[in-house]
Amino acid sequence: MKSDLENRELADLGEIDSETFRTWGHHIIDWIADYLDHPEKYPVLARVEPGAIRSQLAALPPDDPEPMSAIIDDVHKVIVPGLTHWNHPAFMAYFGTTGSAPGILGELFAAAFNVNAMLWKTSPAATELEELVLDWLRQMIGLPAGFSGIIYDTASVSTMHAIAAAREAVPGLNSRELGLSGRPDGARLRLYTSEQAHSSVEKGAITLGIGQAGVRKIPVDNEFRMQVGDLEQAIQDDLKIGWTPFCVVATVGTTSTTSIDPVPQIADICRKYNIWLHVDAAYGGAAAILPEMRWVLEGCDRADSLVVNPHKWIFTPMDLSAFYSRRMNVLKQAFSLVPEYLKTGQDASVHNLMDYGVQLGRRFRALKLWMIIRTYGRKGIAARIREQMRLAQMVSGWIDENPGFERLAPVKFSTVCFRALPGDGENADNLNERLLNAVNATGDVFLSHTRLRDKFTIRMAIGNIRTDEQVVRRAWHLVKTNLEQIRQISA
């Protein structure tokens, strides 16, 4: 016989009641709608010291149930002030990402369905929508029909899988079975990428046992593009001393300056030496949705694989990275491992997405991208990207006509690299670092920095759906006025 207390506790098991869920669901959606209407109410960059958030929250997990009202209260009082607002229209650091309304609704559905897209059978709609939406995006950016793909969480993970496929394709290496460590033949694999490539390329090489020694960084030209002559020379030198060149990672839209590597010439070299070509178009690939920008992916039809991140410039909430390859079979060869309990009756006629990478469980990410593309349409997405590129050109023009500033890279997409020119006795790096900190301290704009040709460089990256001309004008105004203030203080 169970005691009364035990019976009462059993009655409390299971899910919270649907009325509570509905009430708070409505409350949260209302709050989000207001938040997205005016994210600029908040300082874009969180104004908290390290540890400030944890110190306000219980260190011990609650033993007893808490009401939703108390939990949501903490979200408002503690969590929101600790956010850096990526939805803020003046978030212009790094590369922006947008929590777009259709994307948020897609996330909501995906969380509610909570399906695992590991096998076709574990949710046919998730697999088939992923295939469909990737094919839409492929058409939108103008890749040929021979490319198909898979959604990963990030470009870093996409590129890691590309490098794994490249390694799998090395004739006679058999790294899948033998691994790379302790081999008597001392497999010495070399990957090439530019000095401006994203750190994820090197991290992928580290993960896969290629090591940093297996990565050669090719110098760039005066527009930060990989120098193909140097690439070929490096390959030839390596061949002479017993390395196996196996992968080149070219970038369309590098992280610091958004430069575009000469993919057609790089593709020629890759074909000549039988090397896998992966293109990191995580940021720049989105621009190819514009007919007049298709050229940025020129030569990519000859790449073996390519990544483009809808969570950067296609207004998709974190996270969604689209990986494409003409050789998905090689990726499958590298990763497919099917234990008995994951075998299904449809294996011969469907794609089981777990076969194409490290992870088994997979979120239903395709849903949000499908909803975004349907909501805005290809034309609507293109128009937004086009407008952001116009705004970047406008900023570029202001910098070029202002003798107090210098633009440090061509503006190919929607990112502008610049610095204030130092006056007599001023240290340029120090001045620009102070300027960046002062502008960001206003809470009205968030810019980030990089270093170009050893110069401290300020980056203004326009990429949020809510950024408009007024916001950009204000950001430029803040740069100029804060520079004046710094000089007044120093005078």
| Chain contacts with ligand PLP (rule: CB under 6 A) | 95, 154-156, 198, 200, 251, 253-255, 280, 282-283, 309, 321
User: Which C-beta is closer to ligand PLP: that of 413 or that of 476?
Assistant: 413
3-state secondary structure the chain: CCCHHHHHHHHCCCCCCHHHHHHHHHHHHHHHHHHHHCHHHCCCCCCCCCCCCHHHCCCCCCCCCCCHHHHHHHHHHHHHHHCCCCCCCCEECCCCCCCCHHHHHHHHHHHHHCCCCCCCCCCHHHHHHHHHHHHHHHHHHCCCCCCEEEEECCHHHHHHHHHHHHHHCCCCCCHHHHCCCCCCCCCCEEEEEECCCCHHHHHHHHHCCCCHHHEEEECECCCCCECHHHHHHHHHHHHHCCCEEEEEEEEECCCCCCCECCHHHHHHHHHHHCCEEEEECCCHHHHHHCHHHHHHHCCHHHCCEEEECHHHHCCCCCCCEEEEECCHHHHHHHHCCCCHHHCCCCCCCCCCHHHHCCCCCCCCCHHHHHHHHHHHHHHHHHHHHHHHHHHHHHHHHHHHHCCCEEECCCCCCCEEEEEECCCCCCCHHHHHHHHHHHHHHCCCCEEEEEEECCEEEEEEECCCCCCCHHHHHHHHHHHHHHHHHHHHHHC
User: Which C-beta is closer to ligand PLP: that of 78 or that of 318?
Assistant: 318
Q: How far is the CB of 154 from ligand PLP (least distance, A)?
A: 3
User: Which C-beta is closer to ligand PLP: that of 321 or that of 396?
Assistant: 321
User: Which C-beta is closer to ligand PLP: that of 261 or that of 355?
Assistant: 261
Q: How far is the CB of 399 from ligand PLP (least distance, A)?
A: 22
User: Which C-beta is closer to ligand PLP: that of 156 or that of 388?
Assistant: 156
Q: How far is the CB of 224 from ligand PLP (least distance, A)?
A: 12
User: Which C-beta is closer to ligand PLP: that of 123 or that of 254?
Assistant: 254
Q: How far is the CB of 286 from ligand PLP (least distance, A)?
A: 12
User: Which C-beta is closer to ligand PLP: that of 198 or that of 225?
Assistant: 198
Q: How far is the CB of 456 from ligand PLP (least distance, A)?
A: 19
Q: How far is the CB of 374 from ligand PLP (least distance, A)?
A: 23
Q: How far is the CB of 251 from ligand PLP (least distance, A)?
A: 6
Q: How far is the CB of 82 from ligand PLP (least distance, A)?
A: 21
Please, which residues have CB within 8 angstroms of residue 347's CB and are 6 or more apart in sequence? Answer: 338
User: Which C-beta is closer to ligand PLP: that of 122 or that of 321?
Assistant: 321
User: Which C-beta is closer to ligand PLP: that of 187 or that of 279?
Assistant: 279
Q: How far is the CB of 73 from ligand PLP (least distance, A)?
A: 32
